[in-house]
Amino acid sequence: MSRIEQEYKSARETYADLGVDTDQAIKTLSSIPLSIHCWQGDDVIGFDGATSLSGGILATGSYPGRARNAEELRADAAFAFAHIPGQKRFNLHAMYAETGGTKVERSALQPRHFDAWVAWAKEQKIGLDFNPTFFSHPLAASGWTLAHPDENIRKYWIEHGKASRRIAQAIADSLKDVVVNNLWVPDGSKDMPADRLGPRLRLKESLDAIYAEKLPNDRVLDAVESKLFGIGSESYVPGSHEFYFGYASQKAIGLCYDMGHFHPNESVADKISATLLYVPYLIIHLSRGLHWDSDHIVIWNDAITDVCREIIRMRVWDRIHLALDYFDSSVNRISAWIIGARSAQRALLYALLEPVEAMRTEEERGDFGSRLALIEESRSLPFAAVWRHYCEMQNVPAGPEWIDNVKEYEKKVLAGRA
């Protein structure tokens, strides 16, 4: 028996004393997919000719080795997957279409422009998710898209939203799987607007037009995403939390919570139970905002742990779709993928290993002191032994040895990129 197995056997007995089945926790974790974002691999540049970011999005740093095309991006992602345990998905933006060098307007994108991504997903045995791209485009230069006062510009972006849903449908049907199709727009005002209602009326009208088309089955999971503010929209965002919560409730579609899109003192974890009373499912973008939506690499911190605790304690992982969302150009981009994904998995496993039933029993008795004691005592349980066992089961590195693998890949592959 290996040292990892010996440590796991001992940990399993320790957890069992508190009524926690570690084997079941691992089985549950293995069933919860994590959608890994394509845009970390190339600094959100995409393949449709954009040379800089707009829409309040900023990727800082100039670490060498950025993926320059789809082949490189897929190769980098596949290498990262080999170091990430669990069930994985890959999250695409519309700007990652492959058009064979031909200029294709985003409003005219077709499912065939993503055929190579679908074929790759089948090879990797992963799912795909999708996002229309309402930024880094001449018709988004003003900072307004679906709420733009110009009707013709709104129509362009409405057609893009419709095209994205059809692409998501085609991907879903080809993979015989669901595809989350998440919509976010950068629209907003840098300074105080005189009219707050008008843009929201236009945004609602545009969304209604996008979602009016009935798709042939339920494989596309539509969702809308709010934001508190952004660069260039510091004073007003029509797509606020209140706006999209109401819209998602009315339309019975999903609501996306990006952890960087709220005030630093707000708890996304606390919103989950309240929101699920009114919407069918949630998408949660795991991110790490520092002071603003800075999209730092996810680490295993209290905010991520609290979100995972809520999901596990309520047993609603079938109604939650977890995805990573950050982009850091100052570090090795593959390391950024691996760090964030493994941190998210750690937080989920930690939540699954809490003695929740014992905590609930004390809560029902009104013994809140014992409940708090159990929460605190569970922090020192042998979590690391279970994590290493899980990684070994998944055939990925159990500890930091993956770092050397990434460094070797950097020398052999990334160093050759201009």
Residue among 152, 129, 132, 148 at smallest CA distance from 140 = 148
The whole-angstrom separation of Cα 41 and Cα 44 is: 8
The whole-angstrom separation of Cα 288 and Cα 272 is: 18
Answer whether residue 49 shows pLDDT above 80: no
> What average pLDDT does range 40-59 have in this prediction?
76
Answer whether residue 103 shows pLDDT above 70: yes
404 labelled catalytic:
no
Handedness of CA 54, 59, 65, 69 (dihedral sign): negative
Residue among 244, 210, 205, 206 at smallest CA distance from 228 = 244
Size of the chain, expressed as the number of residues it contains? 418
Instruction: Give the per-residue pLDDT at 271.
Output: 97
Instruction: Give the per-residue pLDDT at 54.
Output: 59
> What average pLDDT does range 228-250 have in this prediction?
93
Q: Where are the beta strands (DSSP E) in 231-299?
A: 254-258, 282-286, 288-290, 292-296
Q: Which of 258, 328, 354, 362 is catalytic?
A: 258
9 labelled catalytic:
no
Instruction: Give the per-residue pLDDT at 50.
Output: 67
Q: Which sequence spans correspond to the domains of the chain?
A: 32-355
- Mean pLDDT value across the chain: 95
Instruction: Give the per-residue pLDDT at 229.
Output: 82
Instruction: Give the per-residue pLDDT at 296.
Output: 93
Q: What is the CA radius of gyration of the chain?
A: 22
Q: Which of 39, 157, 184, 317 is catalytic?
A: 184
Q: Which of 293, 328, 354, 362 is catalytic?
A: 293
Is the pTM higher than 0.85? The answer reads yes
Instruction: Give the per-residue pLDDT at 233.
Output: 85
Q: Which of 295, 310, 328, 362 is catalytic?
A: 295
292 labelled catalytic:
no
Instruction: Give the per-residue pLDDT at 58.
Output: 66
The CATH topology of domain 32-355 is TIM Barrel (3.20.20)
Residue among 110, 117, 113 at smallest CA distance from 100 = 113
Q: Which of 261, 271, 321, 389 is catalytic?
A: 261
3-state secondary structure of 33: coil
Answer whether residue 56 shows pLDDT above 80: no
389 labelled catalytic:
no
| Pairing verdict, β 34-37 and 282-286 | unpaired
271 labelled catalytic:
no
Answer whether residue 57 shows pLDDT above 80: no
What would the pLDDT profile of 260-317 be if each residue is shown by its tens digit? Answer: 998 888 999 999 999 999 999 999 999 998 887 778 999 999 999 999 999 999 999 9
- Asked if residues 95 and 82 have their Cβ atoms less than 8 Å apart, the reply is no
Instruction: Give the per-residue pLDDT at 416.
Output: 93
The whole-angstrom separation of Cα 223 and Cα 215 is: 14
Q: Which stretches of 227-319 are DSSP H helices?
A: 241-251, 268-275, 302-314
CA 115, 179, 237, 153: dihedral to nearest 10 degrees? Answer: 40
The whole-angstrom separation of Cα 321 and Cα 148 is: 30
Q: Which of 285, 310, 328, 387 is catalytic?
A: 285
Instruction: Give the per-residue pLDDT at 67.
Output: 95
More confident residue, 246 or 264: 246
What would the pLDDT profile of 350-386 be if each residue is shown by its tens digit? Answer: 999 999 999 999 999 999 999 999 999 999 999 999 9
Residue 38 confidence class, pLDDT cut points 50, 70, 90:
very high
Two tokens, residue 264? 């630093």
Percent of the chain exceeding pLDDT 70 equals 98
The whole-angstrom separation of Cα 43 and Cα 336 is: 12
* 3-state SS, one letter per residue, for 50-118: CCCCCCCCCCCCCCCCCCCCHHHHHHHHHHHHCCCCCCEEEEEEHHHCCCCCCCCCHHHCCHHHHHHHH
Percent of the chain exceeding pLDDT 90 equals 90
Could you tell me which residues are beta bridge partners of residue 286? 324
How many angstroms separate the first and last alpha carbons of the chain? 47
Residue 55 confidence class, pLDDT cut points 50, 70, 90:
low
More confident residue, 286 or 50: 286
293 labelled catalytic:
yes
What would the pLDDT profile of 165-192 be if each residue is shown by its tens digit? Answer: 999 999 999 999 999 999 999 999 999 9
261 labelled catalytic:
yes
The whole-angstrom separation of Cα 84 and Cα 88 is: 8
The whole-angstrom separation of Cα 319 and Cα 221 is: 11
214 labelled catalytic:
no
Q: What angle do CA 178, 169, 46 make, to 5 degrees?
A: 95
Q: Which of 42, 325, 354, 362 is catalytic?
A: 325
295 labelled catalytic:
yes
Q: Which of 42, 48, 225, 362 is catalytic?
A: 225
Q: Which stretches of 176-196 are DSSP H helices?
A: none
- Asked if residues 286 and 298 have their Cβ atoms less than 8 Å apart, the reply is yes
